[in-house]
C-alpha cells in the first residue's frame, strides 16, 4: 500500500511536467520555422488576411521574403503593393479561381508569374502579398518540411519577377 501511495504522489508531481512537452505537430512547426529562418524568410504570427480591424486571432503564419535582407526601412517603398486572398467573399475577382484581390491589383505583366506561383504553393496557403517589406504568404502550416522549399522557391520567383535586376545580378554572379 505504501508503494502505491508513493507511486501516486510521484505521478501527481510528474504529470504537470509532461504538459510542457511538444506535440508532434508543434515539433514540426518549430522545425519548419527554423528551416524558413535559415533560408532567409521572416516568420511571424498574423491575423487572417481578410480580417477587419480588431477581428480574429493570430492563427496564421506569415512567411516573408524581404526585398533587401536586414534593411529597414525598405528602399523599395514605391514598389508593387497588393494582396491576393483565397476563399474570401471580400474583395474583387481575380483571374484565378477561388482567389480575390483585396485592395490594389498586381501589375498585369505579373499575372502569368502569379498564376504559376499560386499553382506551386501548398494547398493551405490562404494569401499571397507583396508590400513594402517584401513578398509574403500566409498559411496554416499544415504541411511538411518540403513545403518550406516550395514556399522559398516561389517567393524568390515572385520577387525576381518584380525586381528583374535581381535576376540579372544572379546571372552575373554565376
- Which residues form the domain of 60? 23-173
- The answer to whether residue 7 sits within a structural domain is no
Q: Once rounded to an integer, what is the mean pLDDT over residues 27-40?
A: 93
- The answer to whether residue 99 sits within a structural domain is yes
Confidence of residue 171 (pLDDT cuts 50, 70, 90): very low
- The answer to whether residue 93 sits within a structural domain is yes
- The residues with which 46 forms a beta bridge, in sequence order, are 60
pTM of this structure: 0.79
At residue 113, the 3 state secondary structure works out as: helix
- The answer to whether residue 10 sits within a structural domain is no
H-helix or E-strand spanning residue 152: helix 145-162
The helix-helix angle for 164-173 and 145-162 (nearest 10°) equals 110
Show the CA angle centred on residue 156, arms to residues 34 and 122, nearest 5°.
Answer: 65
- The answer to whether residue 141 sits within a structural domain is yes
Confidence of residue 72 (pLDDT cuts 50, 70, 90): low
Number of domains in the chain: 1
- The answer to whether residue 117 sits within a structural domain is yes
> How many angstroms separate the Cα of 120 from the Cα of each of 52, 124, 147?
28, 12, 10
Quick: pLDDT tens for 94-114. Answer: 899 999 999 888 888 889 999
- The answer to whether residue 9 sits within a structural domain is no
Amino acid at each position: 500500500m505504501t508503494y502505491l501511495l508513493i507511486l501516486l504522489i510521484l505521478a501527481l508531481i510528474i504529470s504537470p511536467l509532461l504538459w510542457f512537452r511538444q506535440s508532434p505537430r508543434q515539433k514540426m512547426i518549430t522545425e519548419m520555422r527554423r528551416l524558413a529562418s535559415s533560408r532567409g524568410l521572416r516568420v511571424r504570427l498574423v491575423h487572417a488576411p481578410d480580417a477587419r480591424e480588431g477581428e480574429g486571432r493570430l492563427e496564421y503564419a506569415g512567411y516573408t521574403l524581404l526585398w533587401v535582407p536586414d534593411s529597414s526601412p525598405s528602399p523599395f517603398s514605391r514598389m508593387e503593393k497588393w494582396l491576393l486572398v483565397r476563399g474570401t467573399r471580400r474583395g474583387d475577382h481575380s483571374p484565378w479561381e477561388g482567389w480575390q484581390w483585396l485592395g490594389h491589383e498586381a501589375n498585369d505583366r505579373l499575372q502569368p508569374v502569379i498564376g504559376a506561383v499560386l499553382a506551386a504553393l501548398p494547398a493551405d496557403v490562404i494569401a499571397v502579398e507583396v508590400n513594402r517589406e517584401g513578398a509574403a504568404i500566409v498559411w496554416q502550416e499544415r504541411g511538411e518540411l518540403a513545403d518550406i522549399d516550395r514556399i522559398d522557391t516561389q517567393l524568390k520567383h515572385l520577387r525576381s519577377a518584380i525586381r528583374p535586376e535581381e535576376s540579372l545580378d544572379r546571372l552575373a554572379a554565376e
